[in-house]
Amino acid sequence: MSFDAPTIVQIILGAIALLSAMTVVLVREIMRMAIGLGVFLLSVAGLFLLYGASFLATSEVFVYVGGVLVLMLFAIMLVQRSDSGRAVLVSRHDIGSASVALGLFVMLTVALQGVSNRFTGSAPESSMQELSEVLMGGRLVQYEIAGLLLLVALVAVIVIAGGDER
């Protein structure tokens, strides 16, 4: 079995994704979990790039890393406070979640065993062009405004929920 450059990059990105997913499941500090989730999402974006799906990789970085992860970090830092005012950043999950994650990994590995050879071709450019025009075309401003309104709603909930502590 010979290892060429794309295979080595795929193995490295897969190992990074696996280790960061295990970090999310096994670490008890919430901030380290969020960092592990960010590394996992970036490694998945790298795998998308490796398979030639640059639009999916860009969307992964913008939507999940840039949006969802930053919003999660914002909520973690503002919501959970102890009596001293410092953030409570410790999770209460145990080895049960690790066993569930391992079971899901085994099930996905068995289910996707013969699928890896299907990713050798690339998608036609016209379908990616049409998809990008629909998602990033005339509706982009409406999506950005909706995201801004959701962020304002999150801040309002935090202010209302934390109003009694002052």
Total domains in the fold of the chain: 2
| Statement to judge: residues 96 and 160 lie in one domain | no
| Statement to judge: residues 63 and 145 lie in one domain | no
Domain holding 158, by residue range, is: 123-166
| Statement to judge: residues 155 and 79 lie in one domain | no
Q: At what angle do helices 140-161 and 70-79 cross, to 10 degrees?
A: 10
Task: Tokens for 100, please give them.
Answer: 């569930």
| Statement to judge: residues 135 and 165 lie in one domain | yes
| Statement to judge: residues 62 and 17 lie in one domain | yes
| Statement to judge: residues 80 and 12 lie in one domain | yes
- 166 pLDDT exceeds 70? no
Calpha distance 48→63 (Å, rounded) = 14
| Statement to judge: residues 110 and 36 lie in one domain | yes
Report CA-CA distances (Å) from 131 to 16, 44, 61, 136: 29, 20, 17, 8
Instruction: Name the more confident of 63 and 11.
Output: 11
Predicted TM-score (pTM) of this structure:
0.58
| Statement to judge: residues 31 and 108 lie in one domain | yes
| Statement to judge: residues 152 and 81 lie in one domain | no
* Per-residue pLDDT, 12: 92
| Statement to judge: residues 12 and 76 lie in one domain | yes
In this structure, of 7-11, 39-43, 86-90, 144-148, the range with the lowest mean pLDDT score is: 86-90
| Statement to judge: residues 74 and 15 lie in one domain | yes
| Statement to judge: residues 113 and 136 lie in one domain | no
Tens of pLDDT, residues 43-65: 999 998 888 888 888 888 888 88
Residue 117: pLDDT band with limits 50, 70, 90: low
